[in-house]
Amino acid sequence: MRALLCKELCEPLIVENIAVPSLGPGQVRIRVHGCGVNFADVLVVQGKYQEKPDVPFTPGMESAGEVIEVGEGVTAVSPGERVIALSDFGAAAEELVTNDYNLVPIPESMDYVTAAGFGVTYGTAHLALTRRGQLKAGETLLVHAAAGGVGLAAVEIGKALGATVIGSAGGQEKCAIAKAHGADHVFDYKTKDIRETVKTLTDGVGADVIFDPVGGDVFDASLRCIAWEGRLLVIGFASGRIPEIKVGITLVKNISLVGVYWGANRRRDLDAFRESFRELSKLYEDGVLKPLTSATYDLADASQAYADLASRKTTGKIVLTTGR
């Protein structure tokens, strides 16, 4: 089977034919139709992610496909079922073997390409806003990188939860995308000051919850426009700089800094993981969520897909397809 390989960290990715992985007890074999590409995947192949697999390895944390074989003891799924598979690595291949607890059903009306890019972004945003951020109807949510995959998911879920959503994005095209997906207010953080803009939009109060996958200077500015008893959700560091703070500000403004590591939470609390996806599936079937796949790439062109994502040329999600 074809699989994407990282043979050395920070080196170009290659596609090679490798042996089909064996199937163990409690595991499922999936014919992969699509694999979502996430910023975390870029960090993994650069050796900058918090989890560092031994090389060589196949990257990819999410895929969508059909079950073609089940191992001993598997009763939750059967051959022929359509599933989203969420695993730490290994998704960027024509076939994936993973544990059965990593699977959730694809919503009935969702196609494979959309499903391939749905799990990580919407799962992360849903966990962040409902469990970690405790976002309430009537509150103000500020979403940074609001036209990216996880940012758009946060915009849509924030609106579904009844929040007023402010989106920040880089450039007018990206602002328009965030607006089209439900943001009440959007602004270009490259041309407008984050603190002053958010303060103006909230009549000086600030944002109750801030969703930050960027870090760096954006995180610093977020501390200056967060409301009293606000919650700043630390999603990631796409800017490349992991910020540091003087913790006195948490006392002065009575705020909470809340880490969101969705992958670890998924493994630690399977019941919450499954319940989250039941809720997300319903929201999708009801037409509330409208995932944006801005580009698809053949598996052979994965290196270009990773480079485009790393350079912030993309919006929404990009997906690798296998032709299966």
What is the CATH classification number for the domain harbouring 215? 3.40.50.720
Please give the pLDDT value at position 5: 95
Alpha carbons within 13 A on the beta-carbon side of 36? 30
Q: Tally the domains of the chain.
A: 2
Using the 3D structure, point to which of 260, 284, 302 is the last residue of a domain. 260
Please give the pLDDT value at position 224: 96
H or E, element range at 121: helix 119-126
CA angle 298, 57, 64 (to 5 degrees): 45
In a domain, 238, yes or no: yes
Q: Look at strands 2-5 and 14-17 and give their pairing.
A: antiparallel
In a domain, 284, yes or no: no
What is the CATH classification number for the domain harbouring 85? 3.90.180.10
Please give the pLDDT value at position 102: 95
Please give the pLDDT value at position 198: 98
**DSSP 3-state assignment of 1?**
coil
In a domain, 266, yes or no: no
Alpha carbon separation from 180 to 186, 289, 317 (Å, rounded): 10, 12, 16
- Please give the residue range of the domain that contains residue 181: 121-260
In a domain, 268, yes or no: no
Residue 44 and residue 80 in one domain: yes
Q: How far apart are CA 102 and CA 83, in angstroms?
A: 10
In a domain, 281, yes or no: no
Residue 13 and residue 37 in one domain: yes
Residue 24 and residue 150 in one domain: no
In a domain, 278, yes or no: no
In a domain, 272, yes or no: no
Residue 131 and residue 243 in one domain: yes
CA angle 293, 264, 127 (to 5 degrees): 55
In the chain (324 residues long), the average pLDDT of successive 10-residue segments reads 92 92 95 96 90 91 97 95 94 96 96 97 97 97 97 98 98 96 97 98 98 96 97 94 91 95 89 95 97 96 93 90 87
Residue 31 and residue 91 in one domain: yes
**Rounded to two decimals, what is the model's pTM?**
0.95
Residue 155 and residue 49 in one domain: no
Structure tokens at 4: 């994407």
In a domain, 164, yes or no: yes
Please give the pLDDT value at position 10: 83
Residue 7 and residue 111 in one domain: yes
Residue 14 and residue 142 in one domain: no
Cα dihedral 41, 44, 46, 47 in deg (nearest 10): 170
Residue 220 and residue 94 in one domain: no
Please give the pLDDT value at position 180: 97
Please give the pLDDT value at position 50: 82
Alpha carbon separation from 268 to 70, 74, 152, 317 (Å, rounded): 23, 20, 26, 26
Q: How far apart are CA 246 and CA 256, in angstroms?
A: 13
Residue 188 and residue 64 in one domain: no
